[in-house]
């Protein structure tokens, strides 16, 4: 097995890809394990490796990929260094959170003009890495033609928690011009899109030439790019890390890359990708993707589970005994214990808010 992204059409790829891994954001949807500086992406939610570590290994430095740029907040630097060999990476440290547009602008400002930047969240699962690499190869061809490329996940359910992308004109065999972006839809709209076809979920993975994105930002969200550009120029280097200048960076308006650029630009492409993607956005999803025992329980840690089906039990450093339960989550983290039905997983924010 090879993971080389050139396998698909080796004669077309001419540049190595620069991975950009976004580690900002904490998220409370997986509370209590995800909180404070111990964000979701640094937790081993599937198997033994953290989602961040899995993301790093998905684009290994070598013949296809350059060593990654890791964008993270000050509070996450130690964890990043703990979970990867940062001598093989560049850290770009955000002095404060300013959402994805400003974070990506930092990477763009510090990259050479012709570099192809592959921007990836660090807290997603991609089960089929070969399919991911094949999609990147397609996206790279489009990016070299100055498309801003996004990757679209084919929906398998009428999910209301994601944004959707409507594909338009085909771009050879590599993808489609984006017709429009659709914000998180009501259920009826989600069902209609699922039935109609031609829509995909916006997975928040992007590929583009650095100069192309810089120009797009200067057109669509100039204050964001300029603040980031100055923050890089005035930044302080500390070994493997560049700390963006706080006084400059805090001037950047906080906006998502979708709102600030992608929805406004007229040359955006989507590359459909069926690659076992999940945002692992709730305990329900962690259970769905987890390794199940004969009774469909997903169990980690010291747990005694008897006459129980379909539960997610994460015992942390405690000892959990579950008898006669079905389809519930029992999540232990430190001194916090969360118990709820898995189909109420979206309500975990209530507990996180009450507790933190």
Residues in contact with a second copy by the rule CB under 8 A: 32, 304, 306-307, 315, 317-325, 328, 330, 332, 335-341, 344, 347-348, 350-351, 354-355
Question: Nearest distance from residue 92's CB to a second copy, in Å?
Answer: 36
Which structure tokens are listed for 297?
Answer: 């329980």
CB of 297 to a second copy, least distance (A): 12
Look up residue 343 and give its two tokens: 């189909």
Q: Name which of 111 and 332 has its Cβ closer to a second copy.
A: 332
**Residue closer to a second copy (CB basis): 79 or 297:** 297
Nearer to a second copy, 247 or 304 (CB): 304
Supply the minimum distance, in Å, between the C-beta of residue 301 and a second copy. Answer: 11
CB of 334 to a second copy, least distance (A): 9
Strand 17-22 vs strand 116-121: parallel, antiparallel, or unpaired?
A: parallel
Spatial separation of the C-alpha atoms in residues 276 and 133, rounded to whole Å: 13
Q: Are 120 and 55 in contact (CB under 8 A)?
A: yes
What residue ranges in the chain does DSSP mark as E strands? 17-22, 69-73, 90-94, 116-121, 125-126, 148-153, 164-171, 175-182, 199-209, 236-238, 241-243, 268-273, 277-278, 298-306, 312-323, 328-333, 336-341
Nearest approach, Cβ of residue 166 and a second copy (Å): 35
Of 83 and 300, nearer to a second copy (C-beta) is 300
- At closest approach, how far in Å is the CB of 31 from a second copy? 9
100: phi then psi, degrees, rounded to nearest 5: -75, -30
Q: Could you give the C-alpha distances from 319 to 32, 49, 127, 189, 316, in angstroms and in order?
A: 16, 22, 31, 44, 8
Q: Please, what sign has the CA dihedral across residues 52, 58, 62, 63? A: negative
Indicate the residue among 26 and 330 with the shorter CB distance to a second copy. Answer: 330
From residue 20, alpha-carbon distances to 55, 204, 223, 330 in Å are 10, 12, 21, 35
d(CA 345, CA 328): 9
Phi and psi, residue 283, nearest 5°: -65, -30
Beta carbon of residue 332, minimum distance to a second copy (angstroms, whole number): 6
C-beta closer to a second copy: residue 180 or 319:
319
Token digits of residue 119: 């921007």
Decide: 277 and 204 in contact? Cβ < 8 Å.
no
Q: Residue 8, Cα to own-chain centre: how many angstroms? A: 24
Q: CB nearer to a second copy: give 231 or 345.
A: 345
Strands 298-306 and 125-126: unpaired
DSSP-derived pairing of the beta strands 90-94 and 268-273: unpaired
Q: How far is the CB of 38 from a second copy (least distance, A)?
A: 16
Instruction: Provide the minimum distance between the beta carbon of 75 and a second copy in the complex, in angstroms, as a whole number.
Output: 23
Q: Of 3 and 318, which CB lies nearer to a second copy in the complex structure?
A: 318
When the beta carbons of 6 and 344 are compared against a second copy, the nearer one is 344
């Amino acid at each position: 097995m090879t993971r080389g992204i050139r396998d698909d059409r080796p004669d077309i790829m001419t540049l190595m890809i620069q991975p950009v891994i976004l580690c900002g954001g904490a998220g409370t949807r997986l509370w209590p394990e995800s909180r404070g500086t111990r964000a979701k992406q640094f937790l081993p939610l599937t198997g033994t490796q953290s989602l961040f570590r899995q993301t790093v290994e998905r684009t290994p430095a070598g013949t296809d990929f350059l060593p990654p740029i890791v964008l993270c907040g000050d509070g996450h630097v130690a964890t990043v260094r703990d979970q990867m060999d940062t001598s093989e990476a560049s850290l770009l440290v955000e002095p404060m959170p300013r959402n994805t547009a400003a974070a990506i602008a930092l990477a763009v400002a510090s990259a050479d003009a012709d570099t192809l930047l592959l921007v990836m969240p660090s807290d997603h699962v991609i089960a089929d890495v070969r399919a991911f690499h094949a999609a990147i190869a397609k996206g790279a061809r489009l990016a070299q033609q100055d498309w801003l490329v996004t990757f679209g996940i084919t929906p398998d359910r009428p999910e209301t928690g994601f944004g959707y992308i409507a594909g338009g004109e085909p771009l050879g065999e590599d993808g489609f011009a984006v017709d429009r972006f659709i914000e998180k839809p009501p259920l009826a709209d989600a069902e209609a899109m699922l039935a109609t076809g031609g829509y995909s979920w916006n997975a928040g993975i992007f590929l583009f030439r650095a100069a192309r994105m810089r120009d797009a930002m200067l057109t669509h969200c100039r204050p964001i790019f300029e603040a980031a550009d100055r923050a890089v120029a005035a930044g302080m280097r500390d070994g493997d890390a560049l700390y963006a200048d706080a006084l400059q960076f805090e001037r950047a308006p906080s906006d998502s890359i979708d709102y600030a650029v992608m929805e406004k630009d007229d040359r955006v492409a989507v590359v459909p990708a069926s690659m076992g993607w999940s945002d692992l956005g709730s305990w329900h999803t962690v259970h769905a993707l987890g390794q199940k025992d004969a009774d469909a329980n997903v169990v980690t840690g010291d747990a005694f589970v008897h006459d129980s089906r379909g539960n997610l039990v994460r015992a942390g450093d405690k000892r959990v005994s579950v008898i006669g339960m079905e389809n519930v989550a029992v999540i232990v983290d430190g001194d916090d214990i969360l118990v709820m039905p898995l189909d109420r997983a979206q309500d975990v924010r209530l507990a996180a808010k009450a507790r933190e």
